[in-house]
C-alpha cells in the first residue's frame, strides 16, 4: 500500500495568549498541499519493521505502535518512509506521516479504533492530516472546523535552516500575541486573488532568532508572489502565484538556494 503524506501551510497563525498548561492558545487556518512524503505499508505476521530516519522515535513508527496496540495487535506492518519534505520547516511532514500510517493501518487491519484521540496523542497537528483540505483550528490546533476554498497555485521555499518548534515558542514575548484571525476576510481575499489580511505571530520570534529569514521573505515577495508568509514555526515560507506558469518560474529562480516546490493548496483527501 502506498500513501502520500502531504505537507501543510498555515494561512495565518495568531497566538492569542499563554494557557495555564503552559501551551499557547492559537487560531490558525491549516491548508494541505498537493505534495509531500511517500509511505509504503505492507502487512507482516507480527511486529513493526520500519525503514526511515530516527527509528522508533519517528512519529510514523509511533503511530503504527499506537494503532496496532489499540486494535489488539491483529498483525504487524512493514513501513518504508521516503522523505521529501524538509524537517524543522513548519510544513507538518512528521505529523502527516503519522496520520497516513493511522489511515493505512485502518485499511489493513479494520478495528473499532477512534483515530482522532490516537492522532492527538501523537501531536497537535496530526488530527488535521486525517482529513486534509482547509480547516480553521483553535486550542493547540486540535479543535477543527472544515472550510471550503478553491485550489490555488502555491510556491513553498525553505533555505534549509532547521528551526525546532520548542525553540521558537520559547522566544515568544507578550507583544507577539494578537487577536483572532479575520477568517472570512482571508478566504474572500484568497478567492479573489487579493493580498490576504493574515499574519503569523511566530514570525517575530523566528526573525529574532534568525534575522536572515527576513531576507527570505523579501526575496519571495520580490519574485512576485503574494500573501508571502512563514508556515507554522518556520523556517519554510510560502507564497501564492497567479498561475502555474508563474509558480514554475519562481521555483526555477529558487531551486539552487534551497528546497523549492510548487503545487496547489486547498485540496482535501480522506476522512476521519
Query: What is the distance between the alpha carbons of residues 254 and 262, in angstroms, rounded to a whole number?
Result: 11
- Pick the catalytic residue: 37, 83, 97, 125? 125
Query: What is the distance between the alpha carbons of residues 7 and 33, in angstroms, rounded to a whole number?
Result: 5
Other beta carbons within 10 Å of 257: 13
Buried b (16+ CB within 10 A) or exposed e, 36-75: bbebebeeeeeebebebeeeeebbbbbbbbbbbebbeeee
- Cis peptide bond prior to 99, omega within 30° of 0: no
- Pick the catalytic residue: 8, 37, 97, 217? 8
Q: At what angle do helices 115-122 and 93-108 cross, to 10 degrees?
A: 150
For residue 19, which phi and psi values (nearest 5 degrees)?
A: -90, 165
- The answer to whether residue 125 is catalytic is yes
Other beta carbons within 10 Å of 203: 20
Catalytically active residues are 8, 125
Amino acid at each position: 500500500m502506498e500513501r502520500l503524506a502531504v505537507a501543510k501551510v498555515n494561512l495565518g497563525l495568531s497566538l492569542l495568549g499563554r494557557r495555564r498548561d503552559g501551551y499557547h492558545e492559537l487560531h490558525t487556518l491549516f491548508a494541505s498541499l498537493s505534495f509531500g512524503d511517500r509511505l509504503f505499508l505492507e502487512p507482516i505476521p507480527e511486529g513493526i519493521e520500519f525503514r526511515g530516519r530516527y527509528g522508533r522515535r519517528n512519529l510514523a513508527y509511533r503511530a503504527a505502535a499506537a494503532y496496532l496496540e489499540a486494535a489488539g495487535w491483529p498483525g504487524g506492518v512493514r513501513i518504508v518512509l521516503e522523505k521529501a519534505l524538509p524537517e524543522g520547516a513548519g510544513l507538518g511532514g512528521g505529523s502527516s506521516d503519522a496520520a497516513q500510517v493511522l489511515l493505512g493501518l485502518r485499511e489493513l487491519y479494520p478495528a473499532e479504533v477512534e483515530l482522532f484521540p490516537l492522532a492527538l496523542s501523537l501531536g497537535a497537528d496530526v488530527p488535521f492530516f486525517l482529513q486534509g483540505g482547509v480547516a480553521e483550528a483553535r486550542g493547540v490546533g486540535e479543535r477543527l472546523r472544515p472550510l471550503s476554498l478553491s485550489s490555488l497555485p502555491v510556491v513553498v521555499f525553505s533555505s534549509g535552516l532547521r528551526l525546532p518548534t520548542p525553540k521558537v515558542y520559547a522566544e515568544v514575548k507578550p507583544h507577539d500575541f494578537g487577536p483572532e484571525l479575520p477568517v472570512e476576510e482571508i478566504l474572500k481575499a484568497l478567492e479573489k486573488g487579493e493580498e490576504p489580511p493574515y499574519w503569523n505571530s511566530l514570525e517575530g520570534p523566528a526573525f529574532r532568532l534568525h534575522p536572515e529569514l527576513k531576507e527570505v521573505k523579501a526575496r519571495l515577495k520580490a519574485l512576485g508572489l503574494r500573501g508571502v508568509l512563514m508556515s507554522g514555526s518556520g523556517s519554510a515560507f510560502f507564497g501564492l502565484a497567479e498561475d502555474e506558469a508563474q509558480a514554475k518560474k519562481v521555483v526555477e529562480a529558487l531551486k539552487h538556494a534551497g528546497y523549492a516546490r510548487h503545487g496547489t493548496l486547498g485540496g482535501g483527501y480522506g476522512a476521519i
